[in-house]
Amino acid sequence: MGRRFSKRKNAPPRKERDPNASYVEVIKENAQMEEYYKAQKIMSEEEWPVFWGHLKVTLPTTFRITGTRSHAVEIRDTVKNAFVPHLSNISVDGVVANPPRPLAWYPDELGWHFDVPRTLLKKSPEYAKFHQFLVAETEVGNISRQEAVSMIPPLLLDIQPQHWVMDMCAAPGSKTAQIIEMVHAVEQHKVVPGGLILANDADYRRSHMLIHQTKRLQSPCLMVTNHDASMMPSLTLAPNKAGEVVPFEFDRVLADVPCSGDATLRKNPMVWNSWTHGGAMGLHQTQVNILQRGVQMLKVGGRIVYSTCSFNPMENEAVVAEMLNRANGTLELVDVTNELPLLKRRPGLSDWKVFTKEGQQVDKFEDVPTDAKGKFFPSMWPPENAGELHLERCLRIYPHLQDTGGFFVAVFKKTAPYVVPNPGRAAAAAEKAASASTSENKEQNAEEDTTTTGDKHKLDTAAGEEGSEPVKKARMTRAERFGAPGPKEEPFLFLDANNTDVELFSKFYGLDEDFPKDQFLVRSEGEKNKTIYIVSEAVKSILKSNDIHRLKVVNTGVRTFIRQDSNSPADCTFRIHNEGIAMMRQFVSDARVMAVQLEEVITLLQSPYPKITEFPEAVQERLTALPTGCCIFEFDPALEKDKDKPNPRWEGQGLTGFVKGKLVFPVWKAQVSFNMLLNKQERRSLAMRLGVDCVDSPHVVEGGAKGTAAKAKAAAAEAAASASASASEDATPEDATPEDSPMAEDDAAEGSEEEESL
Ligand SMILES: C[S@@+](CC[C@H](N)C(=O)[O-])C[C@H]1O[C@@H](n2cnc3c(N)ncnc32)[C@H](O)[C@@H]1O
């Protein structure tokens, strides 16, 4: 997960976690690595000392403002106008900090960086306030801490809202979040977007980090799967509404593959200690196989971006060159010189050297000693036609160019169908490996079946001697490679448009005629429908495929309606979940929407269950007239009567603080009182943006404590919860018991080992 600014529950003592504390003990030298990269001639001798020196400097903090377009702009303007002017020239103990500033190359000033020593963050009241803001906005997913260079691959995918996008190695999900935002970039009224985001990770536990990271983006177009990306299954999809069977292919694919990670030195100083010549060797073939499967599943005319956080040509240009040669003219490198023009980059290499684990240079595959042959593939060397492949079109990002981490990116376009096998220059050993991992549908699916039943994993089954890396890998079980497989997922069951429950809430909320009522689903077979999710038409066509058993879907759908088992006399016991409110607001009848002023919002924020009599007299009559049950409160700052009155909390801002767009949130009306259906973080974030105080609702339910939910995915939950950053909470109506939704299981499993506070 992009690192977050959040506080962690049960976090180890600060001292243990302070990365600076451990950094001082690392000696930032590695002679082998220095020699290796000098031999690769990744830059001139004159530039080398600047590059090498920069690797030793701690990375600035970077964050990205997330969410839908208008919302993100609002948060950006808050950072720019409310904080930055107060953060210039601040010094503590003689240290002056650079105030936060936008990344020059990131579009619309939505990417930011700053390098502020921890002491200053703690001691300066201005920075403390800024930090508090970052924490609150991160909690609700409006800000995501993400390394600057990691933001590049999604930007180069050139995603359009209607695109089907596959993120092959997606966890913890910072790039997936960016992709989701791009698919939702155009805010359309009364439309569920047509795009699709399939986010996959081979590691089940990490696939749950992915769910956590993307949950707050509330996309009905997202599907999270758990496969070895080199063996993503092929499916025949169910016909869509127009009766067409569209192929299971993607307009855009991101292959952000597992790599040795030596370009993350600034963030992970331990790499100084651990780097060896062998680090990249065991990854090269896996990287080729993942990229190749991505190319197969890409539409002709589509774009695939390959990226690593490694400087190593064996993981970078060698993989790219092998793929281009296998593709034999059906794939080309795109010249992206004019894309992100302010991003400083260096061209890819057309020549590089290969070394043994012991550090001996080997000029060609044929020269590898027989007893070491199993560790090498011919594709690790520069091909003879390297000069013709336009490898210079690859992007090498070096830390000293713009004070970032290092990264490698290659952007391809598929120009014609790609047929496997086409082993190109690969030798017999690699051919065998490739065919094991990329052979057509039948074999792939059979493979998936065997891996899930615990048989030996066949990926990378290269011919090689006993004890060689490929053979050892081939003998690994799936669990050894990717951790324990998750439990069998509950099925995704669609509700008919004329299902009694669908009819009940459709009528109660006056759902628009155009609303796709056949895209609701549940996950609790045989039980009454407790939690109702909505998915896009594209997701539905996948879930309704006859081959769906081949795809391990771990999560999809946005929580939209929750059944409240209560004694409430409400006509409809389904409440709207805050997750689905932005989308549902477009389709809900105005009769269920109450326009409110700031004063009413404050009453709800400052009292857990305010009685009608606690609201301003002017609205009491309207509130009394509302039928019991769930309704939507809508606050439009443009209609606020006192909007220009200064807000004492935020200097220079009107009374509504930094909230410029409409706010909608679900509220439960009981007999005599109201309850805002927001969790603790959501309440706090809203209060902070409005510049008012709030109280936490006492009726929140800790997600981790949801008994049955926690049990259901015990394996994943246990692992993730131990690293968990924040148990989630859900607000419930005062007179109702908390729902026990299948999706609540995710709350128990959420969290990230990569989470870090400022
Ligand atoms: C570099 S990280 C991806 C980072 C991610 N794209 C992001 O931006 O947050 C690589 C990921 O690949 C996953 N992985 C490793 N081998 C894989 C495979 N064969 N198929 C799919 N995922 C794999 C790892 O679990 C890891 O989460």
Instruction: Give the position, in ligand 1's atom list, of the atom nearest the Cα of 153.
Output: 8
| Highest mean pLDDT pick, 111-125, 213-227, 719-733, 734-748 | 213-227
- Ligand 1, CB within 6 Å, residue ranges: 150, 168-175, 201-203, 206, 228-230, 256, 258, 286, 290
Q: What is the pLDDT of residue 394?
A: 98
Which position has the higher pLDDT, 671 or 657? 671
Question: What residues contact 541, with CB distance under 8 A and at least 6 apart?
Answer: 237, 238, 239, 240, 246
Q: What is the pLDDT of residue 644?
A: 81
Is the predicted pLDDT of residue 665 greater than 50, yes or no?
yes
- Written as one letter, the residue type at 230 is S
- What are the chain's domains? 14-149 (no CATH), 153-370+377-425 (3.40.50.150)
- Coil, helix or strand for 521? strand
Q: Would you place residue 30 in the very low, low, confident or very high pLDDT band (cuts 50, 70, 90)?
A: very high
What mean pLDDT is predicted for residues 563-590? 85
pLDDT averaged over the chain?
A: 80
From the centroid of its chain, how far is CA 230?
20
Q: Would you place residue 654 in the very low, low, confident or very high pLDDT band (cuts 50, 70, 90)?
A: confident
Cβ–Cβ < 8 Å for 187, 111: no
Q: What is the pLDDT of residue 655?
A: 77
**Which residue minimizes the CA distance to atom 18 of ligand 1?**
228
Q: How far apart are CA 127 and CA 118, in angstroms?
A: 10
Which position has the higher pLDDT, 9 or 90? 90
Distance 542 CA to ligand 1 centre (A): 23
Distance 5 CA to ligand 1 centre (A): 22
**Which residue minimizes the CA distance to atom 17 of ligand 1?**
202
- Strands laid side by side in the 520-522 sheet: 493-494, 520-522, 531-534, 558-563, 574-576
State how far the alpha carbon of 550 is from the alpha carbons of 233, 445, 451, 547, 553, in Å. Answer: 6, 6, 12, 6, 9
Q: Would you place residue 553 in the very low, low, confident or very high pLDDT band (cuts 50, 70, 90)?
A: very high
The reply, when asked if residue 571 is annotated as ligand binding, is no
Distance 206 CA to ligand 1 centre (A): 9
**Which residue minimizes the CA distance to atom 1 of ligand 1?**
258
The reply, when asked if residue 70 is annotated as ligand binding, is no
**pLDDT single digits (tens) 441-479:** 333 332 332 222 222 222 232 333 334 444 455 456 667
Is the predicted pLDDT of residue 749 greater than 60, yes or no?
no
Question: What residues contact 46, with CB distance under 8 A and at least 6 apart?
Answer: none
**Least confident segment among 326-340, 659-673, 692-706:** 692-706
What is the 3-class SS of 64-89, one letter each residue? EECCCHHHHHHHHHHHHHHHHHHCCC
The reply, when asked if residue 536 is annotated as ligand binding, is no
Buried/exposed 314-350: b ≥16 CB within 10 Å, e otherwise: bbbbbbbbbbbbbbeebbbbbebeeebeebebeebbb
Q: How far apart are CA 75 and CA 368, in angstroms?
A: 56
pTM of the model: 0.83
Q: Would you place residue 527 in the very low, low, confident or very high pLDDT band (cuts 50, 70, 90)?
A: low
What mean pLDDT is predicted for residues 537-548? 96
Task: Please identify which residue in the block is written with the tokens 């599943």.
Answer: 297
Q: What is the pLDDT of residue 614?
A: 93
Query: Among positive and negative, which fits the CA dihedral 101, 107, 110, 113?
Result: negative
The reply, when asked if residue 616 is annotated as ligand binding, is no
Q: What is the β-pairing status of strands 407-414 and 331-333?
A: antiparallel
What mean pLDDT is predicted for residues 185-209? 89
**Which residue minimizes the CA distance to atom 19 of ligand 1?**
228
Distance 168 CA to ligand 1 centre (A): 7
**Which residue minimizes the CA distance to atom 2 of ligand 1?**
258
Distance 335 CA to ligand 1 centre (A): 26
What secondary structure letter does DSSP report for 149? G
Distance 260 CA to ligand 1 centre (A): 12
395, β-bridge pairs? 347, 409
Distance 210 CA to ligand 1 centre (A): 11
Residues in the chain: 758
Distance 286 CA to ligand 1 centre (A): 11
Q: Would you place residue 652 in the very low, low, confident or very high pLDDT band (cuts 50, 70, 90)?
A: low
Q: Is 394 part of the annotated catalytic residue set?
A: no
The one catalytic residue in 221, 259, 309, 630 is 309
Q: What is the pLDDT of residue 720?
A: 34
376: tokens are 């090498």
The reply, when asked if residue 278 is annotated as ligand binding, is no
In percent, the amount of the chain with pLDDT more than 70 equals 79
- Written as one letter, the residue type at 473 is K
What mean pLDDT is predicted for residues 738-744? 23
DSSP secondary structure letters along 236-271 = BPPP-TTS---BS-EEEEEEE-----GGGTTT-TTH
Instruction: Give the position, in ligand 1's atom list, of the atom nearest the Cα of 173.
Output: 9
Question: To test ligand 1's pocket by mutation, which of 201, 224, 461 has the most ligand atoms within 8 angstroms of CB?
Answer: 201
Q: What is the pLDDT of residue 687?
A: 87
Q: Would you place residue 24 in the very low, low, confident or very high pLDDT band (cuts 50, 70, 90)?
A: low
The reply, when asked if residue 201 is annotated as ligand binding, is yes
Q: What is the pLDDT of residue 475?
A: 54
**pLDDT single digits (tens) 56-68:** 998 999 999 986 6
Distance 698 CA to ligand 1 centre (A): 39
Q: Would you place residue 684 in the very low, low, confident or very high pLDDT band (cuts 50, 70, 90)?
A: confident
Instruction: Give the position, in ligand 1's atom list, of the atom nearest the Cα of 259.
Output: 1
DSSP secondary structure letters along 563-578 = E--B----S--EEEPG
Question: To test ligand 1's pocket by mutation, which of 165, 179, 254, 257 has the most ligand atoms within 8 angstroms of CB?
Answer: 257
**Least confident segment among 105-119, 285-299, 450-464, 641-655:** 450-464
What mean pLDDT is predicted for residues 335-361? 97
State how far the alpha carbon of 19 is from the alpha carbons of 12, 266, 740, in Å. Answer: 13, 11, 38
ipTM above 0.90, yes or no: yes
Task: Please identify which residue in the block is written with the tokens 């990365």.
Answer: 19
Instruction: Give the position, in ligand 1's atom list, of the atom nearest the Cα of 308.
Output: 1
Question: To test ligand 1's pocket by mutation, which of 169, 305, 310, 438 has the most ligand atoms within 8 angstroms of CB?
Answer: 169
Is the predicted pLDDT of residue 332 greater than 60, yes or no?
yes
The reply, when asked if residue 170 is annotated as ligand binding, is yes
Instruction: Give the position, in ligand 1's atom list, of the atom nearest the Cα of 309.
Output: 1
Which position has the higher pLDDT, 671 or 405? 405
Q: What is the β-pairing status of strands 395-397 and 407-414?
A: antiparallel
Q: What is the pLDDT of residue 286?
A: 97
Cβ–Cβ < 8 Å for 141, 217: yes
What mean pLDDT is predicted for residues 71-97? 85
Q: What is the pLDDT of residue 490?
A: 81
**Which residue minimizes the CA distance to atom 11 of ligand 1?**
169
Is the predicted pLDDT of residue 44 greater than 70, yes or no?
yes
Which position has the higher pLDDT, 98 or 507? 507
Instruction: Give the position, in ligand 1's atom list, of the atom nearest the Cα of 286.
Output: 19
In percent, the amount of the chain with pLDDT more than 90 equals 54
**Least confident segment among 235-244, 487-496, 647-656, 682-691:** 647-656
**pLDDT single digits (tens) 135-150:** 878 877 788 899 999 9
Instruction: Give the position, in ligand 1's atom list, of the atom nearest the Cα of 175.
Output: 8
Is the predicted pLDDT of residue 112 greater than 70, yes or no?
yes
The reply, when asked if residue 335 is annotated as ligand binding, is no
State how far the alpha carbon of 129 is from the alpha carbons of 135, 203, 605, in Å. Answer: 10, 38, 21
The reply, when asked if residue 721 is annotated as ligand binding, is no
